[in-house]
Structure 1
């Protein structure tokens, strides 16, 4: 079994929660995460995500059911922005990112860039 970074596992749990229609238990989430992570690991991740207010939970019997508490697009965009803040050569990083896009991703990016976007703090 390959160990992954905590941030990666956290992202996988958040993605699984985003894909869920209804609230899910830690055991259900564990089944959706590749690599067979330990149940206790998934519980720890969920506890931390709840503390960060990224997920909500409701008690059902002895267990909790979890639901994503934030918009997934905002969550992913914030992570991308955090990574870009650490780049010493922003142009190179963005260039490499664009080179690795699929045709569908490139088309979606072009559509977004061609449409005027309000900046943070501005109203639409």
Structure 2
């Protein structure tokens, strides 16, 4: 099994939590992740996200249930902006990014930019 970068697993856990649309326990989130990460790994990621203030948690018996404390789209957009800020040629990065979009993503981007046909 190949290992993910820690930031990637964090992003996957956040996306899974957002996809559930409410609160979830560690086992529920594990079931939505590819590659069968260990329960303790997902628990550690959730604890780190809690410490960063990205998720909240409430005790439910012997476990915690987690909920997003921030807007997922703002969080991802901030990450994208941060990556662009560190690029030596942001235009090239944006160009490459746009070429990887699906037709639906491209349509949505055009709509956002005001260029809907």
Instruction: Please confirm whether the aligned pair reaches a TM-score higher than 0.5, indicating the same fold.
Output: yes
Which residue of the partner structure matches residue 70 of structure 2? 70
Corresponding pairs, count: 115
Please, which runs of 5 or more residues in structure 2 have no aligned partner?
none
Deviating 4+ runs (over 3 angstroms): none
CA RMSD of aligned residues (A): 1.1
Which residue of the partner structure matches residue 86 of structure 2? 86
How big is each residue's C-alpha offset from its partner over 1:29-77, in whole Å with a ceiling of 9 and x where there is no partner?
A: 1111111101111010000000111001000111100011111111110
Please, which runs of 5 or more residues in structure 1 have no aligned partner?
116-124
How big is each residue's C-alpha offset from its partner over 1:62-102, in whole Å with a ceiling of 9 and x where there is no partner?
A: 11000111111111101111111111011111111111111
How big is each residue's C-alpha offset from its partner over 1:3-54, in whole Å with a ceiling of 9 and x where there is no partner?
A: 0000000000000000113311111111111111011110100000001110
Tell me the SS of whatever aligns to 2:67: strand
TM-score, with structure 2 as normaliser: 0.93
Tell me the SS of whatever aligns to 2:58: strand
